[in-house]
Structure 1
C-alpha cells in the first residue's frame, strides 16, 4: 500500500510551509506529495496568507526535492487551456527529473471562479474529455511530428507538440463519484483512478464501475491503479487524536467515521479494509500543515506496518 501526502493549501499555507511538508514527506519515506488546485478557501477559514498556484508551487518543489513524486488532486480544467497545461506539466516534469503526475478534473467550485474572474462554463465534463485528449496527444506525438485536434471546444493546428516530458508517459489521474461519464473517461485516459472521501461501500461500487468501463473499452482493468483520498488524524492516545481533530475543526468520532482517524492500529486496520475493496494507494489529506510530528507518527507507526 502506497501512502501519499495530500495538502489543501488554499485553506492557509504559503510556499515555505508547503516546502517544509514536502521535504518532511520525502525524508520520512512517503511515496508522493500532492496538492489541491484551488484559489479560494472553503469553510470558516480565511485562507491567509492567500492562495498559491499549484503548478508554480510544484515547479519550485521540483527543484528543492530529489526523490518524492509530485502532483495535483486535481488540476482544474477550467483554470488552464489544455495546450498551455501540457507545456507547463512537461516543463515541471523536466525540472523534477521525471517525478510529476497530473490529476485533471473538470473544475467545480464556482465561487472561486467568480472571485478571480475565471470563466465557469457549462459542459465542463465535455471540455475535460477534450482536454485529456489534447494533453495526452501532445505528449505522445513523436518528436518531429505534428499534432492537430478539431473539437467542439478546442482546436489545435499543426502543433510541434513540444516540450516533451522526461517520463515516457506522465501518469494521468482521473477521479470522482460520477456513475457513467467519469468511469468512461478513466477507462480511456487514466493511469490511476482516485475516489475522494468515500465510504468503503461507495469505494467498492465506484471501483467496480471503472473496471466494467475498462472492460467495455477493451482495456485490462488491472492496468489502472485504484486509490482513495481520505482525511487523516492519528494520535498515540485518545487525547492526541482529540487535539489533532480540534486543530482542524473536526470531531474525532466524525473523522473515525469519514476518514482515517484514531490510533495507529485503528488506521492500519481501516486502510486494510480499503485495500480489500481494491485500493493500492491512499492519499492522506493532511490539514494541519504545521504539525510535522503528525507525519513522523504516521511514517513510523502506520506506514511501517504497510510496507
Structure 2
C-alpha cells in the first residue's frame, strides 16, 4: 500500500511548518506530500493566515528532492485554466517531474465571499471543471510548434502556443475525487489517473462510489488497472489509548465525525489491521491526514510501526 501525507494549512500553518512536514515525510519514506487549496477554515482563525497552494509547492519543489508533491484539490474557481496550466508545468519542471494535480469544482462558499472570488452554482462549477480539464490536457498535449484552440461555454482559447510543457509527459498525473454519483465518475474516467475518496466518506457510500468509478472506467474503454483508487483518512495514531485520545480530541473539535470513520485512529496494531482491510475495498493508496503539523513524532510512529507491515 502506498502512503502519503496531506495537510490543511488553512487551519493555521506557515510555510516553514509545511516545509518541516514535507521534509520529514520525505525522510520517513512517504511517497508524497499534498496540501489543500483553501483560503479559509470555517470557525477557526487559522493564524497566521492562508498560504497559496501553488506558491507553496513551487518552493517545496526546490527544498525537497524525491517526494512527490500535489494538491488535494486545486479549486477551479480560484484560477483560469490557461494560467493554471502554466503554473503546474513550471512547478513540475522546478521539481524535476514530481508534481501531481488534484483538481475539483470548489465547495466552500465562505472563502469565496471572504476574498472576492465568484462562486457559481454547483452545476456551473462542474461545467467549468469539465472545460478546465479539457483545456489543461489539451494545452499540455499539443505538440511544440503547434497552437491550441478551445471554444467552450465559459473559456475560449485562440492560437495559444500551449507553452510551457510539463516535464512529465504527456502531463502530470491528474486526480479527481468526491462523492458525486454521475459527473464525478465520468470526469475521473475521462481525465484522471487516480480517483480519491474524501475524508468524510462513509464506508457503504465509499464502496458504492468506487464501483461507479470502476464502471465509468470500463465504459470509457480503459483497462481497469489504469485507475488508482485512493482515500484520505484522519491520522491520530498513538502507542496507547491515552495517546490516541490526546491526538484525536482536537481533531474532533475541528471537523466533527472525521475521526469516527478513520482507520488511522488507534494504536499501531489496530491501524495495521484496518489498513489491511482497505485493500479488500479496492483502496491502493492512503493519504494520512495530519492536522497538527508540529507533531512530527506521529509521522515517525506511523512510518516505523505501520508502513513496514503494509508493503
- Give the TM-score of the pair, scaled to structure 1: 0.97
Aligned position for 2:120: 121
Aligned residues: 305
Q: Do 1:233 and 1:255's aligned partners in 2 also have CA atoms closer than 8 Å? A: no
Q: How big is the alpha-carbon RMSD for the aligned residues of Structure 1 and Structure 2?
A: 1.4
Q: CA deviation at 1:254?
A: 5.5
Matches within 5 A, 1:225-304: 225-250=228-253, 257-259=260-262, 260-304=264-308
Q: Do 1:200 and 1:274's aligned partners in 2 also have CA atoms closer than 8 Å? A: no
| Deviation sequence 1:62-99 (CA, Å, 0-9, x none) | 00000000000000000000001000000000000000
Judge which range, 46-55 or 34-43, deviates more: 34-43
Aligned position for 1:211: 214
How far apart, in 1, do the equivalents of 2:257 and 2:221 lie?
41
Say whether 1:76 aligns with 2:78: no
| Deviation sequence 1:172-227 (CA, Å, 0-9, x none) | 00000000010000010011000112233222211110011111122222201000
Q: Do 2:4 and 2:32's aligned partners in 1 also have CA atoms closer than 8 Å? A: yes
SS at match of 1:74: strand
Q: Which runs of 5+ in 2 are unaligned?
A: none
How far apart, in 2, do the equivalents of 1:141 and 1:33 lie?
29
How far apart, in 1, do the equivalents of 2:126 and 2:40 lie?
22
How far apart, in 2, do the equivalents of 1:140 and 1:133 lie?
10
Q: CA deviation at 1:28?
A: 0.4
How far apart, in 1, do the equivalents of 2:236 and 2:224 lie?
32
How far apart, in 1, do the equivalents of 2:245 and 2:83 lie?
44
SS at match of 1:166: coil
SS at match of 1:39: coil
How far apart, in 1, do the equivalents of 2:259 and 2:152 lie?
45
Say whether 1:202 aligns with 2:208: no
Q: CA deviation at 1:249?
A: 4.2
Q: CA deviation at 1:121?
A: 1.6
Aligned position for 2:2: 2
Say whether 1:154 aligns with 2:158: no
| Deviation sequence 1:131-183 (CA, Å, 0-9, x none) | 00001111111111111100001000011100011111200000000000100
Q: CA deviation at 1:16?
A: 0.3
Aligned position for 2:142: 141
Evaluate the alpha carbon distance shift between residue 176 and residue 76 of structure 1 in structure 2; reply closer, same or farther with a 3 A threshold: same
How far apart, in 2, do the equivalents of 1:85 and 1:94 lie?
14
Q: Do 1:191 and 1:225's aligned partners in 2 also have CA atoms closer than 8 Å? A: yes
| Deviation sequence 1:216-249 (CA, Å, 0-9, x none) | 1222222010000111100011111011112434
Q: Do 2:92 and 2:167's aligned partners in 1 also have CA atoms closer than 8 Å? A: yes
How far apart, in 1, do the equivalents of 2:258 and 2:35 lie?
20
Q: Do 2:248 and 2:259's aligned partners in 1 also have CA atoms closer than 8 Å? A: no
Stretches of 4+ aligned residues off by more than 6 angstroms: none
Q: Do 1:234 and 1:261's aligned partners in 2 also have CA atoms closer than 8 Å? A: yes
Q: Do 1:232 and 1:261's aligned partners in 2 also have CA atoms closer than 8 Å? A: yes
From 171, 177, 180, the equivalent of 1:178 is 180
How far apart, in 2, do the equivalents of 1:272 and 1:148 lie?
47
- Give the TM-score of the pair, scaled to structure 2: 0.95
